[in-house]
């Protein structure tokens, strides 16, 4: 009986050692500090109006328009607004406090968001010019400017920003009955209604959002891994609806960690370019590519980043 117990203990120790060896091997062969997924989880906070124009009530519209534009890009996964609201209620955090690094990190863990987009309406103006005789000429113009900051939810630090500007012009020609002595309560051309003013403001905001979205996309390049290499053919872990045939990727390898010589703070890591590939065949979850440069340097585990 004692012999059986001793054998059992030795067997367990052997298993533990084997498990440790396998774990160490897995850690060694996995790419260091490579992106976990090509898809970025993004949370968009409601925009704030800091333009000084209290009549500019387009914050919700701007927020929804930006979410819609970002959602069109398969590189992004947008965290639902209701989920953001629920987390804020449960944690009693204020949206204004999410720019604090500690709060941002906590918020990111609870929502699963990797990045937070915080935006402001910095300019929101409209004007109307009229020249009246028998025929009334009306011209309306609106300008909207937006600014966003992008916060990395793992560090709580702002990693970038973008601006968008949009404008809209409308002109109309209408007959003014008052000019010939007719007294009508609702004359044609009797001024711009609130709905019309709101409409032209939304048009300007829409242009600003489209411009803003294009700039945000450049801050979030699509990236993934080389998962297989056979001669000058590679397979990457980015598939359908994210790339097209002919898409070009730069290939990188993570180099040594960069540490500030004075503060001793870790400030990032080197990215060493190893080559380029061109996608020529696309599947649901992966794609084939041909190496256009760096055939001898590119290795499995290298990072691929879509060229703009």
- Tens-digit pLDDT profile for residues 236-266: 999 987 888 999 999 999 888 889 899 888 7
pLDDT at 197: 67
Percentage, residues of the chain above pLDDT 90: 41
- Mean pLDDT value across the chain: 79
pLDDT at 28: 44
9-18, 124-133, 207-216: which has the minimum mean pLDDT?
9-18
Q: Please give the full DSSP string across 17-61, using - where no structure is assigned.
A: HHHHHHHHHHHHHSPTT--S-SSEEEEEPPPEE-SS-TT---HHH
Q: What is the mean pLDDT of residues 117-123?
A: 94
- Tens-digit pLDDT profile for residues 21-72: 444 444 444 444 434 456 789 999 999 999 999 888 999 999 999 999 999 8
Listed residue (122, 116, 121) closest to 149, CA to CA: 116
- Tens-digit pLDDT profile for residues 223-238: 899 999 999 999 999 9
CA distance 94 to 117: 15
Is the pLDDT score of 176 beyond 50? no
Is the pLDDT score of 103 beyond 70? yes
Is the pLDDT score of 162 beyond 90? yes
Residues 6+ apart with CB under 8 A from 100: 156
Place of tokens 């309560």: 185
Residues 6+ apart with CB under 8 A from 261: none
pLDDT at 182: 42
In CATH, the number for domain 223-306 is 2.40.10.410
Task: Locate the domains of the chain by residue range.
Answer: 40-219, 223-306
Is the domain spanning 40-219 CATH 3.40.50.10610? The answer is yes
18-27, 70-79, 97-106, 160-169: which has the minimum mean pLDDT?
18-27
The pTM score is 0.65
SS3 of 221-262: the string is CCEEEEEEEECCEEEECCCCCCCCCCCEEEEEEEEEEEECCC
Is the pLDDT score of 171 beyond 50? yes
pLDDT at 169: 86
7-21, 38-52, 155-169: which has the minimum mean pLDDT?
7-21
């Amino acid at each position: 009986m004692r012999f059986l117990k001793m054998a059992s203990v030795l067997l367990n120790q052997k298993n533990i050692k084997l498990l440790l060896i396998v774990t160490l091997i897995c850690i060694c062969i996995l790419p260091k500090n490579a992106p976990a997924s090509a898809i970025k989880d993004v949370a968009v906070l409601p925009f704030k109006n800091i333009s000084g124009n209290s009549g500019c009530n387009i914050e919700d519209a701007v927020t929804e328009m930006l979410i819609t534009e970002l959602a069109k890009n398969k590189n992004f996964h947008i965290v639902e607004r209701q989920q953001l609201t629920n987390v804020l209620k449960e944690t009693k955090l204020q949206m204004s406090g999410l720019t604090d690094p500690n709060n941002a990190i906590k918020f990111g863990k609870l929502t699963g968001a990797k990045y937070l987009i915080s935006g402001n309406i910095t300019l929101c103006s409209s004007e109307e010019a009229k020249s009246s005789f028998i025929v009334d000429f009306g011209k309306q113009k609106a300008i909207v400017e937006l600014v966003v900051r992008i916060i990395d939810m793992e560090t709580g630090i702002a990693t970038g920003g973008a601006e968008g500007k949009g404008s809209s012009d409308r002109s109309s020609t209408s007959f003014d009955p008052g000019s010939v002595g007719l007294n009508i309560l609702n004359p044609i051309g009797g001024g711009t209604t609130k709905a019309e003013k709101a409409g032209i403001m939304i048009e300007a905001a829409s242009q600003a959002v489209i411009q803003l979205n294009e700039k945000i996309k450049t801050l979030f390049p699509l990236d993934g891994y080389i998962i297989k290499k056979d001669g000058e053919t590679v397979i990457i872990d980015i598939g359908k609806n994210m790339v097209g045939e002919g898409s070009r990727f730069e290939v990188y390898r993570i180099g040594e960690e960069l540490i500030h010589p004075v503060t001793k703070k870790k400030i990032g890591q080197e990215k060493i370019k190893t080559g380029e590939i061109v996608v020529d065949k696309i599947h649901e979850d992966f794609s084939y590519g041909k190496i256009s440069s760096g055939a001898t340097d590119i290795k499995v585990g290298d990072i691929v980043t879509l060229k703009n």
